[in-house]
Amino acid sequence: MTLSHADRIEGPLFSRLSLAWQFAVAGAAVLVVGMVLIGLWVTSRIEREAVRNAGSVTALYVDSIIAPLTSELTSAETLSEGARKTLTETLQQGALSTRLFSFKLWRTDGTIIFSSEPSLIGKRFEVSPKLASASAGTVHAEFDHLHSDENRIERESRIAMLEIYSPIREAWSGEVVAVAEFYEKADELRADLNTVRMQSWLVVAAVTAGMLVLLFGIVARGNHRIKTQRRSLDEQVVELSRMLAVNRSLRLRADRANQRAAALNEQYLRRISAELHDGPTQLLGFAALRLEAISTGRARDDDALRVQQSINAAIEDIRNICRGLTLPELEMLSGNDVALRAIREHETHSRGAVLARIAPVHVASQAAKICIYRFIQETLSNAARHAKASRVSVGVAEAGGMVEICVEDDGIGFVRRPDDRGLGLTGLEERITGLGGQLEIQSGSAGTIVRMKIPAHDTDHA
């Protein structure tokens, strides 16, 4: 089973081509077919008009010479011997001898009255359409293939000939009394027509090629733009898909953070309640008991002093609790100063040294400063209490609009439990996530690295 031309064009090979080359292949096929049809039509019209004009000119020239010699046909059906002799001499001499190869004079019924080949005189042949057309008064000219019986001599000559049928009319009435058939040597005309035909084909081919190249250029540029836009759209789709995935992840993290924040808030409230209960409440309760003893006369000598001391201690505890919640002293500090303050306070309480690598960082929001302070405070406290580390270091730097703080120790490491609901690292993670940052923990037998990244400037994390 063979494939048609259309099937081959629509096959897999064609579909793998770019749009520009698909257009080039299909357009070339259409334009070539159109070029062939137009070329055939143009060259046939040129040849027909050239042959008709040449035939008309030759017929007019021959008629001007032959017509006076055939005037007797208006009253007789044959030529006299004198007329034949004169006609033969006319055809063999002068310009006609070089232009004409053979000559026949027909009656309208198909009988040859005169011929340059004497053996044909008097013979009658079937009236051809060309003879009938000339008998009706029309000059007929064409390159004949010379297949008829009366064309044996012309056929054997193998010369390109223009066959012309010209009507011979009666002078006073214009009636066609005979038809002159003559064969003009047409080698030059044939060569000229071949040249014109070749030039016509070249012009048509050049115009077709120019159209194809121009259209291909337009389609290729459009195809390039389409491919560029498609790549851009594909990249945008990939980026949008990535952003959707990130948004889904962030939404889930935000939902989890909200849930855990509510739980942590309750734990913070319980811790504050415990600190108030265990600290200031106890001191104020003691002061109340001593005041009651004073009012009942059962006071000791130092009760007044002890009441004053208890009240002052309670006030100090309350201030410390408030200071721990809001840290107002951080407001006027830069990001690196906040980090240094947290490190120095840890060194003071733990009596241990911390290796600090602090670069200038610029943090505007109070929430970010508190986050930095609490992160260093919590991680250093964990390292001092649980890591059994001989070396602890803190690194602070800013790059790409992000503040990065890394706390590293060479302790025994730890494994964080998935169900860890404590206030330490979990609270830090929620605080950092709320600021749009990230918390990373790497821990093993060689030590622990806790790294925090938060935006240096305020962002919307709602």
pLDDT in tens, 407-453: 999 988 888 766 555 556 777 787 788 888 899 999 888 899 999 99
**Which has more pLDDT, 136 or 172?**
136
Residue 9 has pLDDT above 60, yes or no: no
- Per-residue model confidence (pLDDT) at position 211: 78
Complete DSSP assignment for 19-40? HHHHHHHHHHHHHHHHHHHHHH
| C-alpha closest to that of 256 among 372, 418, 377 | 418
- Per-residue model confidence (pLDDT) at position 157: 58
Phi, psi of 99 (to 5 degrees): -95, -35
- Per-residue model confidence (pLDDT) at position 4: 46
- Per-residue model confidence (pLDDT) at position 394: 94
Residue 325 has pLDDT above 80, yes or no: no
Reported as a pLDDT band with limits 50, 70 and 90, residue 238 is: very high
- 8 Å CB contact between 120 and 141: no
- Per-residue model confidence (pLDDT) at position 108: 80
Domain 7-185, second-level architecture: 2-Layer Sandwich (3.30)
- Per-residue model confidence (pLDDT) at position 314: 74
Complete DSSP assignment for 328-362? GGGTTS-HHHHHHHHHHHHHHHH----EEEE----
Output the CATH code of domain 330-462: 3.30.565.10
Question: Which range is most confident: 229-243, 251-265, 312-326?
Answer: 229-243
pLDDT, mean over the chain: 76
What is the Cα–Cα distance from 56 to 58, expressed in whole angstroms? 5
**Which has more pLDDT, 399 or 183?**
399
- Per-residue model confidence (pLDDT) at position 6: 45
- Per-residue model confidence (pLDDT) at position 403: 92
Fold match between domain 7-185 and domain 330-462: no
Instruction: Please give the DSSP secondary-structure letter assigned to residue 394.
Output: E
Of 49-58, 143-152, 447-456, the one with minimum mean pLDDT is: 143-152
Residue 461 has pLDDT above 60, yes or no: no
- Per-residue model confidence (pLDDT) at position 323: 65
Residue 7 has pLDDT above 50, yes or no: no
What percent of the chain lies above the pLDDT cut of 70? 71
pLDDT mean over 264-272: 71
With 0.85 as the threshold, say if the pTM is over it.
no
**Which has more pLDDT, 326 or 27?**
27
Residue 205 has pLDDT above 60, yes or no: yes
Reported as a pLDDT band with limits 50, 70 and 90, residue 195 is: confident
- Per-residue model confidence (pLDDT) at position 3: 44
| C-alpha closest to that of 58 among 230, 174, 177, 181 | 181
| Domain boundaries, given as residue ranges, for the chain | 7-185, 330-462
Reported as a pLDDT band with limits 50, 70 and 90, residue 65 is: low
What is the Cα–Cα distance from 285 to 314, expressed in whole angstroms? 10
| C-alpha closest to that of 182 among 268, 266, 95 | 95
Task: Let me know how long the chain is.
Answer: 462
27: Cβ contacts below 8 Å, ≥ 6 apart: 212, 215, 216
- State whether residue 452 is helix, strand or coil: strand
For the stretch 320-329, what's the b/e string if a residue is b when 16 or more beta carbons lie within 10 angstroms of its beta carbon?
Answer: eeeeeeebee
**Which has more pLDDT, 409 or 352?**
409
What is the Cα–Cα distance from 215 to 391, expressed in whole angstroms? 75
